Amino acid sequence: MTVEKHIRVRGSSNISWKDAIVQTISEASKTINYISEVKVIDQTASIQDGKISEYFAEIELTFYIDHSNM
């Protein structure tokens, strides 16, 4: 039987929304094992002086529950 868990996380980047997504997945994978899917929930940005200064991505990560440590 396969059991999955879903969590929402939010990350940021000064470069782009794509980079915010990639960096958020990279950071999450340092403490979450078996990430299998990503769903982009929302993309927002901060504006300063008429330009985007920071990109934000809210994503939902899916990962498998590890039963081998139970």
Greatest C-alpha distance within the chain: 53
Q: How far apart are CA 27 and CA 2, in angstroms?
A: 24
pLDDT-wise least confident of 19-23, 39-43, 58-62, 63-67: 63-67
- pLDDT(70) > 50: no
**φ, ψ for residue 27 (rounded to 5)?**
-65, -45
> 4-64 has which CATH code?
3.30.1660.10
pTM as predicted: 0.86
Sorted by where each begins, the domain ranges of the chain are 4-64
Per-residue tokens: 40: 């982009």
* Average pLDDT taken over every residue of the chain: 94
- Residue 51, Cβ neighbours under 10 Å: how many? 8
